[in-house]
Structure 1
């Protein structure tokens, strides 16, 4: 009598250790930025005056915009693994120094250094994420990366506020220490077998060749739309609109922003798997459609329930887009290509959108009305939607699952 042999089942694919290490790093980085955000305004006012706060914030983002193309070239040159801890170390030193700055100009200079460090870290981390994640797991990799980032933005401000009650410089010192320890840990970032991380070989990809790919151009447009709507309009125009339209607008604005964050956070884990099963293009189309509809709905909302519902839809759409267009860019480049400039341009698209969106929509709101400004904003993802309709699917056929 023979014992029946159990059929062998394929092991469920898992994300490589390097992906989880990068997720932890982006969580610490995001939490650090969130920890000092509530107290940076007061710190600036101590050294100068409240009117000087926008200058400190603008200097940080201007440094990011200027440094992003440079970081891309350095990644293409094969310096990815060196840039990763170096960028985080610059951020750590500048953050700790901000708590000890003796005057406004020192603080301003340190924030510029922090912007440079943040850019070096982000561009190199995304490049390593592309190299580490297998094609069939790229959507999930970008999904958990986004979860790590969003979790940091939630945890950071709470921790920073608590530390500030202990000592005024504590948020800066503790954040700098945590970032420094994370930078040291990244020196030992594991490599995925068979993958090139841009240090030892690979082919440098020319930007002209990448731009010729319709999926990459669609990803640029959708990331620009996310920067415009999620990073720009959500934190600038939405609060102003709610204050002008509704009674008790201050509290309702906070509820709307929270609803956006909840919708985003809830869908992110599912969005990564959706991207790896449906494909990049269908997921991107779904996400960009929800995102645009939600933004338009916010501007047309006439009661709190509609406003909150539209904010949730916007957050869900944003959460679906992220893994889809990130994975598409990774597919276009491939794991062994040194595509630093392409990755930097992808990131830069969101940064430019975040800067341009509030300015252009703000002018539209003053010239016409808030609903007109939000409808104008909804046109940006509409353009990206058309671009994705024309884009090919980039998920390799053998990687698709049911």
Structure 2
């Protein structure tokens, strides 16, 4: 007869008299669905990344204005993030997730038919509203459903799905640009509709609804999370990561390829793709190291690697070095992201809702993604060159690494 365990204690390998190395915690089905959807979303996002800045410049605007197109998306995410957190608390993650995808699909399709810069700016900004809805929802589901012992691994797997899409997306997007700069937007809109269909059909079962409707604890307040030194450090590194990976990389890297290197959208697509390849390569081991070595050392290492390589990128004069440094910067991002996300999840814990806390963390990243392209683009337009713009971007990552030195390690103790 199997002995009964004390109430509240999970069964361990020792209880079942099996070697610890034979115990493997399975990934919940719902998370597998989110991972599949993430891949489809990333493919579409990668399609427009190489062409978006150039599409903006086709309306006869400068580098700063073209960069603001990237910032507008992040600005809408920033403004709507608190609302997204509240919607998740009231409607549940799946409903908010699907609605967000549909909003981005419609706004992206509208971008393809923009007749001037201001229409493009408005349509792209509206997409940011839907983006923050499905981002906060996905993070909430992962935190709620991921077993703490494999939280770093699941964060890494989820991020890898995005990266695999970001590898193929820019390459395809660069090629599609040959048929016109508007074509990638149409294909992206279709990809988002596919992702919405996957999530709607697979995550509407009663079991998932029950998990959401009967939370095991109250919602964590933002002020409580901010009191934790690790969460404060995560806000700083999230800002730096948004500045670099989601802001300047998307806004200036394609323009750098065209303006400085004299290449076209194809090279910009390759650079964005190899960044994702570097990140995916790091994800193959960083998630597991996050669960064994800890969150803090991985975050610091990733920020330093990403910061130094990004700072050097703006001073390259050859395509080969441009590609190499893009790969290294991607490696840094791949080391950073699983550990950073796992640390935020640790602060919230599996027994409490964290919609507002997650939204605030997302807002820190979006703030960086807003300011980064605008400031870096202004430096270029003022004659300080792309080198200064990328150097400043790298410096933000290094400063964020310094902020993590005093952070508390949140890796749950082994049982």
Question: For the Cα contact (< 8 Å) 1:31–1:152, is it kept in 2?
Answer: yes
Question: For the Cα contact (< 8 Å) 1:92–1:179, is it kept in 2?
Answer: no
Q: Deviations over 1:176-231 (max 9, x none)?
A: 541441242244368589x9547545211111110111111111111211111122
Question: For the Cα contact (< 8 Å) 1:163–1:170, is it kept in 2?
Answer: no
Per the alignment, residue 88 of structure 2 pairs with 75
Counterpart-to-counterpart distance in 2, 1:292 and 1:42: 25
Counterpart-to-counterpart distance in 2, 1:20 and 1:276: 20
Q: Does 1:25 align with 2:37?
A: yes
Q: Deviations over 1:328-384 (max 9, x none)?
A: 000000112121121112112222212211222334454645444333222211221
Per the alignment, residue 398 of structure 2 pairs with 382
Q: Deviations over 1:127-175 (max 9, x none)?
A: 111111111211111111111112223344566766997x969636733
Gaps of 5+ in 1: 1-6
Counterpart-to-counterpart distance in 2, 1:14 and 1:339: 23
Per the alignment, residue 353 of structure 1 pairs with 368
Per the alignment, residue 87 of structure 1 pairs with 100
Per the alignment, residue 147 of structure 1 pairs with 160
What is the aligned-residue RMSD (CA, Å)? 4.0
Per the alignment, residue 149 of structure 2 pairs with 136
Question: For the Cα contact (< 8 Å) 2:33–2:199, is it kept in 1?
Answer: no
Per the alignment, residue 3 of structure 1 pairs with none
Deviating more after overlay: 265-274 vs 313-322: 265-274
Per the alignment, residue 319 of structure 1 pairs with 334
Q: Deviations over 1:93-130 (max 9, x none)?
A: 55567678999998877655543222211111111111
Counterpart-to-counterpart distance in 2, 1:39 and 1:291: 24
Per the alignment, residue 393 of structure 1 pairs with 409
3-state DSSP of counterpart to 2:35 = helix
Counterpart-to-counterpart distance in 1, 2:211 and 2:202: 17
Match of 2:355 among 340, 345, 352: 340
Question: For the Cα contact (< 8 Å) 2:45–2:188, is it kept in 1?
Answer: no
Taking structure 2 as the reference length, the TM-score comes to: 0.78
Question: For the Cα contact (< 8 Å) 2:160–2:280, is it kept in 1?
Answer: yes
Counterpart-to-counterpart distance in 1, 2:108 and 2:259: 36
Counterpart-to-counterpart distance in 2, 1:297 and 1:68: 33
3-state DSSP of counterpart to 1:379 = helix
Question: For the Cα contact (< 8 Å) 1:263–1:316, is it kept in 2?
Answer: yes
Question: For the Cα contact (< 8 Å) 1:219–1:325, is it kept in 2?
Answer: yes
Per the alignment, residue 201 of structure 2 pairs with 185
